[in-house]
Amino acid sequence: MQTKLQLQVSPQTALNEVLLKEEVKQHLSLKDHATLHIKILKRSIDARGRKIRINLTVLAGVDEMILPEKIQLTYPDVCSSRKTCHIIGAGPAGLFAALRCLELGIKPVIIERGKDVKARRRDLAAINKEHLVNPESNYCFGEGGAGTYSDGKLYTRSNKRGDIEKILKTFVFHGASEEILVDAHPHIGTNKLPQLIQYIRETILRSGGEVFFNAKLLDFKTEGDKISSIKILNETGEQDIVVQNIILATGHSARDIYELLNKKNILLEAKPFALGVRAEHPQSLIDSIQYHCGSLEEVISKREFLPAASYNLVQQVRGHGVYSFCMCPGGIIAPCATSQEEVVTNGWSPSKRNNPYANSGIVVGLELKDFEPYRKHGPLAGLELQKQFEHAAWMFGGKTQTAPAQRLQDFTNGKFSSALPDCSYQPGLKSVEMQQVLGKLIGPALKEGFKAFGSKMRGYVTNDALIVGVESRTSTPVRIPRDKDHLNHPQLKNLFPCGEGAGYAGGIVSAAMDGERCANSIKY
């Protein structure tokens, strides 16, 4: 007999199969001689009280084995398919669009400006160590897109926009741990993501799809209300390719694509987005606050059975939402600029989340009215505002990838930090009054937001923490509009704006789901 049950257990019990089976036996009032098999289906942490509990959904097999579920996905051979779809960008949106194309019998042809996932690593090292930003290969551009060297958090609130379970199962099929199907807040980690991305590419190639790296979309020609051909720049020069359908999944950092569309009078819209800084705390401090510890010893003993703690903060300030974004427990702050004269931060974590720092974007939500001074740039107003902040960070940081930074409490008190604590950001930091970088639009709202966070999480506002600027690529400041039912651009029937860059996703899973939706919408 198999039964599903909900349990609340201690962190120790959740990690120990013998203890957990005892708990299940008691729960089901089983006799001692009954043979019990268990499988954890869902797991979440309830850390609201001092006594931390783990919520589990457990499948119990009494005198009955629980067979492991084997995830089998099949991708038909599309080698000789007459239906092709050119997918621009090999981020999560582009890759999952390609996988869905395979399922639909369409041959996907991926055009990616960056390098394959392994070759990309050298360019990341060059940013971190030599301050050299390759505009075609960096933390945002290259195989796997912006999500490749990330924390690989796989949760999304967009559960109405697609089948989250299918996306997670596709990751498992391509080598991710099955734990991502169990955890309420699953993540993969930077050390594991590149291999998964490579396996996804191999699936695409094995089934007859094509993938081109170092190939950048430069331009396109139209005939009537369709794109007839695209111009690609690759290692051998420029090439024109005739196309049937295009999924444009170029991400939020492909500024040249927005500029190209704007120049060609293809409809774009300015879109609200958020700007701010990355805050970094000692992980033990965040653990201590979130797990209600009175001493470092208590942190150490609780952490034996609990993961690095995270947080999620939000506060309304002066008509703006101030909130935490993309929190990376046990993580590293990454230099995410895509061209030379800008500094951009984001964060990543390895699968074990075992670095001594906790970082998170803390950003201020901006509305269209905030772009007013940039009105002359039309739909690109927000983009110009974003550029200006990134350039200011570069100037104040010393015109390299060194980032401007300040101790958190000093920032809230308007005091210069004479020295900065250690930080995970590899290119280095320069002590700066961050108010100068953030200006009137962001600075005061952030200051008040941090103060409010300090009363929600006692100890959060401390000079042991740092803020590093700027966190500016939270989402795109430009939307590429599309028909709400058919998902094609209103002026171009065979152009499907897709993923985060088009304004329809925010994060790996939602971008992947949007890729699938766009592939589903293609007509021949």
Question: Footprint of ligand FAD on this chain (CB under 6 A)?
Answer: 88-94, 111-114, 139-142, 145-147, 149-153, 216-217, 249-251, 254, 257, 326, 334, 336, 346, 348, 499-501, 505-508, 511
Report in angstroms how near the CB of residue 185 gets to ligand FAD at its nearest. 10
Write down the least CB distance from residue 247 to ligand FAD, Å: 10
What is the chain's length?
Answer: 524
Helix, strand, coil distribution of the chain in percent, nearest 5: 35, 25, 40
Q: How far is the CB of 316 from ligand FAD (least distance, A)?
A: 24
Answer yes or no: are the C-beta atoms of 144 and 90 closer than 8 Å: yes
Of the chain, the end-to-end C-alpha distance in Å amounts to 50
CB of 65 to ligand FAD, least distance (A): 36
Nearer to ligand FAD, 11 or 94 (CB): 94
Token pair recorded at residue 431: 């002590």
Residue 98 CB, nearest distance to ligand FAD (Å)? 11
Q: Which amino acid is at 213?
A: F
Q: Which residues contact 514 (CB under 8 A, 6 or more apart)?
A: 93, 161, 162, 498, 499, 504, 505
Q: Which is nearer to ligand FAD, 81 or 346 (CB)?
A: 346
* Among candidate residues 112, 115, 119, 66, the one with its CA nearest the CA of residue 93: 112
Measured over the CA atoms of residue 513, residue 365, residue 310 and residue 146, the dihedral's sign is: positive
Q: Which is nearer to ligand FAD, 181 or 254 (CB)?
A: 254
Q: CB 152 → ligand FAD: shortest distance, Å? A: 5
Q: Which is nearer to ligand FAD, 346 or 412 (CB)?
A: 346
| CB 347, min distance to ligand FAD, A | 6
Helix (H), strand (E), coil (C) string for 284-310: HHHHHHHCCCCCHHHHHHHHCCCCCCC
The answer to whether 394 and 342 have CB atoms below 8 angstroms apart is: yes
Q: Which is nearer to ligand FAD, 81 or 137 (CB)?
A: 137
Nearest to 194 by CA among 120, 294, 275: 120
Q: How far is the CB of 479 from ligand FAD (least distance, A)?
A: 13
* CB closer to ligand FAD, 4 vs 352: 352
How far is the C-alpha of 424 from the C-alpha of 356, rounded, in Å? 9
Least Å from the CB of residue 101 to ligand FAD: 15
Tokens for 223?
A: 């005939």
User: Considering beta carbons, is residue 259 or 464 the nearer one to ligand FAD?
Assistant: 259
On the CB side of 460, CA atoms within 13 Å amount to 22
CB nearer to ligand FAD: give 162 or 501. Answer: 501
Amino acid at 421: P
- C-alpha–C-alpha distance, residues 258 and 247, integer Å: 15
Pick from 249, 382, 293, 279: which is nearest to 52 by CA? 293
Q: Determine how β-strand 478-479 pairs with β-strand 269-270.
A: antiparallel
If the CB atoms of residues 390 and 448 are measured against ligand FAD, the closer one turns out to be 390
